[in-house]
Structure 1
């Protein structure tokens, strides 16, 4: 693998991090957001410093042969801890329990990082090795222990990640389950990376040469595993956001008939606040709901409970369920009220009548049902015709 194979995923991780930084700045106390940013930072750092050109440059800048080896191993160890902490925070639970588990993983892997640094300082690695450090120094005192420790720490993290994500995936559904299964696949590649590295190192211990496993097979496995795992982490978050956005836009569109009906009820109807084109879908839904409720207040004196009762009886007689019949009844009352308001341009009813009860819409779902009935119900169409013929 050349430097480009490392720098491209590093740039992708850095780009994802850049999009997360503003949110982190505004919500620093969110442990999940902090975990995501830490994971992206360490992933970008691992790919950057593991690239052979970077390894050579760091060794040259520091003046210490093979200084990059413990640096990369410490970054990989920190990345392993970040993955475990992210899963703990992602899964959630009692805050104190989540913090306790996170602290334990951070503390444990911090000890490993300190040990890796001390072992490199105690050992001797005078010959620079850009690609085969693990096998070349597999029998060197202290360096041997350094290599074994980092591989064991990484292997433990991979096993724990596979077990945690697998168990969790059996308890959830949808995009979250898909993401967890993808993470499991990614960490199976990481386990394969550990197995090939360990096999090559153990072969050196026993006097054999399987260095090609460490230099040619292990790096691609690590790269594939990291990229697959990154997709698993990102997929549920992105797809959930897209799903939420689509749901909001669908709700916004379905509220359209009811919104148009009450908005055009008269010249003095409430004026909708103009929103910028980049406004989020959920904000638009809230604004449209607010406009509809303002319209109900405007139409209050023209709501006739008799219209609602009659429409309810007609809908039930035609086989509608109770929930659908109530939506049809409210929609018919709204349609009749709009006709009555248009027939009273001087507002005489407003000054002479008590305000009627508005539709009992409890949240956007009820409003969507009323909006759907307003457009599609034959009962509502009949009430419109009756109101037109009566001149109300």
Structure 2
């Protein structure tokens, strides 16, 4: 693999990190968000510093041959720990238990990182090796132990990740399960990376030469495993966000029928709230619900509870369920009130102080059902037609 094969994944991870950083700035106490940012940061660092051109540059800048080796091994070890911590926080549970387990993984892999640095300092690796240090120094005291330690730590993390994600995937559904299965697939590539690396190193211990496994086969497996795993981590978060946004925009659109119906109730001269096109969907829904409730307040003097009760009984008689019948009754009352308000342009009823809002329409729990009934219920259509012709509803 050349430098480009490392730098492209590093850039991809950096872009994902840049997208996440603003959220961390506003919610830095969120352990899951911190775990995601740590993972993306370490993944980008691993790919950047493991690239042969970067390895050579770091060695030259420091003046220490092969100093990049413990640096890359420490980054890989820290990345392994970040994956474990992310899954622990992602899976959730009692906060104290989650924090305790995360701290154990961080402490354990922190000790491994310290040991890697100490072993490199005790060893002797004077000849720079950009691609095959693992096998070239496989029999060198202390360097040998450093190589074996980082491979063992990486292998333990991969095995634990596969086990945790597989067990968790059996308990969940949807995008989360798909993401966990993708993570498992990615870590199977990581296990293959460990197997090929260790095979080449053990072959050196036994006096054989299988260096090509470490030099040419293992790196592509590591890159592929990291990219696949990253997709598994990101997919549920992105898809859940898209799904949530779709539901919010659907709610906004479905509320439109009721919103359009009650707009007539606004007093003359009332300014219309105009939201910027970039306003969040959540804010738009809140504003639309607020407008609807304001409309209910202005329509209150025109609400006819007897009409509502008649519409409710008729909806039940036609086979509607309890919740649907209540929504149809509320919608019929709103439709009749709108017709009555239209027939009273000077607002004589309002000016007479005949306020009768009460709890006629029972809050946001029914807004979507009421909106749907306004558009689709035959009972509501009949009430609207009768109110338009005679100024009254069901009789």
Q: TM-score of the superposition, structure 2-length normalised?
A: 0.97
Q: Where do 1:177-326 residues align within 5 Å?
A: 177-265=177-265, 267-268=267-268, 271-326=271-326
- Inter-CA distance 54–343: structure 2 relative to 1 (3 Å threshold): same
2-side partners of 1:357 and 1:243: how far apart?
A: 36
Q: CA RMSD in A?
A: 1.3
Q: Where do 1:124-135 residues align within 5 Å?
A: 124-135=124-135
Name the counterpart of 2:345.
345
- Inter-CA distance 373–160: structure 2 relative to 1 (3 Å threshold): same
- Give yes or no for contact 2:119–2:143 (8 Å, CA) kept in 1: yes
- Give yes or no for contact 1:7–1:48 (8 Å, CA) kept in 2: yes
1-side partners of 2:254 and 2:172: how far apart?
A: 30
SS of residue paired to 2:209:
coil
The reply on whether 1:60 has 2:60 as its aligned counterpart is yes
Could you tell me how far 1:361 is from its partner in structure 2?
3.8
1-side partners of 2:147 and 2:186: how far apart?
A: 23
- Give yes or no for contact 2:297–2:357 (8 Å, CA) kept in 1: no
Aligned residues: 391
Runs of 4+ with deviation above 6 angstroms: none
Could you tell me how far 1:267 is from its partner in structure 2?
4.5
- Give yes or no for contact 2:266–2:298 (8 Å, CA) kept in 1: no
- Give yes or no for contact 2:305–2:360 (8 Å, CA) kept in 1: no
2-side partners of 1:74 and 1:248: how far apart?
A: 44
2-side partners of 1:366 and 1:206: how far apart?
A: 75
- Give yes or no for contact 1:73–1:150 (8 Å, CA) kept in 2: yes
- Give yes or no for contact 1:304–1:356 (8 Å, CA) kept in 2: no
* Deviates further, 311-320 or 125-134: 311-320
Q: Where do 1:71-220 residues align within 5 Å?
A: 71-220=71-220
Could you tell me how far 1:356 is from its partner in structure 2?
3.6
SS of residue paired to 2:346:
coil
Q: TM-score of the superposition, structure 1-length normalised?
A: 0.97
SS of residue paired to 2:29:
coil
- Give yes or no for contact 1:182–1:232 (8 Å, CA) kept in 2: yes
Post-superposition CA distance 1:213-237 (Å, at most 9, x none): 1011100100000000000000011
- Give yes or no for contact 1:254–1:368 (8 Å, CA) kept in 2: yes
Could you tell me how far 1:360 is from its partner in structure 2?
3.6
